[in-house]
Amino acid sequence: MTGDGKDMEQWSAEKINAFRQTLLDWYDKEGRDLPWRKDHDPYHVWVSEIMLQQTQVNTVIPYYERFMKTFPTVDALAKAPADKLLKAWEGLGYYSRARNLQRAAQEIVIDRHGQWPTTAAGLQELTGIGPYTAGAIASIAFEEPVPAVDGNAFRVFSRLLEIDADIAKPESRGVFFDAIQAVIDPQRPGDFNQAIMDLGSSYMTAVNPDSEHSPVKAFNQAYLDGHELDYPVKTPKPRPVPINYFALVIQTPAGYLLTQRPSTGMLANMWTLPLVKETDLLVDDETALPETDELIRRAAATFEEDTGIELSLTPVSSRKVTHTFTHQKWQIQLLVTQLTKTPDLSLFPGQAIQETAFDEYVMPVVQQKMWRNYQKWQQRGDKS
DNA sequence: CAAACGTGGGC
DNA sequence: TGCCCAAGTTT
Domain ranges of chain A: 13-230, 241-380
* Annotation says A49 is catalytic: yes
Mean pLDDT of A40-60: 97
Q: Is the C-beta atom of A55 closer than 7 angstroms to strand B?
A: yes
Q: Which of residues 143-202 of A touch strand B (CB under 7 A)?
A: 169-171
**For residue A297, pLDDT beyond 90:** no
Contact present, A248 and A273 (Cβ < 8 Å): yes
Q: If you measure CA to C1', which residue is closest to nucleotide B7?
A: A93
Cβ within 7 A of any strand C atom: A 32, 34, 48-49, 52-57, 94, 96, 100, 127-134, 136, 150-152, 155, 194, 197-198, 200-201, 205-207, 234, 236-237, 239, 326
**For residue A181, pLDDT beyond 80:** yes
CA of A114 to C1' of B5 (A): 30
Q: A281 pLDDT band (50/70/90 cuts)?
A: confident
Q: Is the C-beta atom of A366 closer than 7 angstroms to strand B?
A: yes
How far is CA A180 from its chain centroid?
A: 26
- Write out A84-100 in H/E/C secondary structure: HHHHHHCCCCCCHHHHH
User: Tens digits of per-residue pLDDT, A338-368?
Assistant: 887 888 888 888 999 999 999 999 999 999 9
Identify the burial level of A339 via C-beta atoms within 10 angstroms of its C-beta, where 0-12 means exposed, 13-18 middle and 19 or more buried: middle
Lowest-pLDDT range, A162-171, A259-268, A294-303? A294-303
At A286 the pLDDT is 58
Catalytic residue (choose from A9, A49, A107, A294): A49
Contact present, A104 and A277 (Cβ < 8 Å): no
Which nucleotide is nearest to A365 if distance is taken from CA to C1'? B7
CA of A59 to C1' of B9 (A): 10
Identify the burial level of A264 via C-beta atoms within 10 angstroms of its C-beta, where 0-12 means exposed, 13-18 middle and 19 or more buried: exposed
Q: Is the C-beta atom of A345 closer than 7 angstroms to strand B?
A: no
What class has domain A241-380? alpha beta
Select from A368, A355, A362 the least CA-distant residue to A88.
A362
* Integer Cα distance of A203 and A208 in angstroms: 9
Could you count the other beta carbons within 10 Å of the beta carbon of residue A359? 10
- Single-letter code of the amino acid located at A374: Y
**For residue A330, pLDDT beyond 80:** yes
Q: Which of residues 81-110 of A touch strand B (CB under 7 A)?
A: 91-96
Q: If you measure CA to C1', which residue is closest to nucleotide C7?
A: A52
Question: Which architecture does CATH list for A13-230?
Answer: Orthogonal Bundle (1.10)
* Integer Cα distance of A92 and A52 in angstroms: 10
CA distances in angstroms from A277 to A90, A264, A299, A331, A362, listed in the order given: 24, 18, 8, 10, 22
Contact present, A369 and A321 (Cβ < 8 Å): yes
User: Tens digits of per-residue pLDDT, A128-178?
Assistant: 999 999 999 999 999 999 999 999 999 999 999 999 999 999 999 999 999
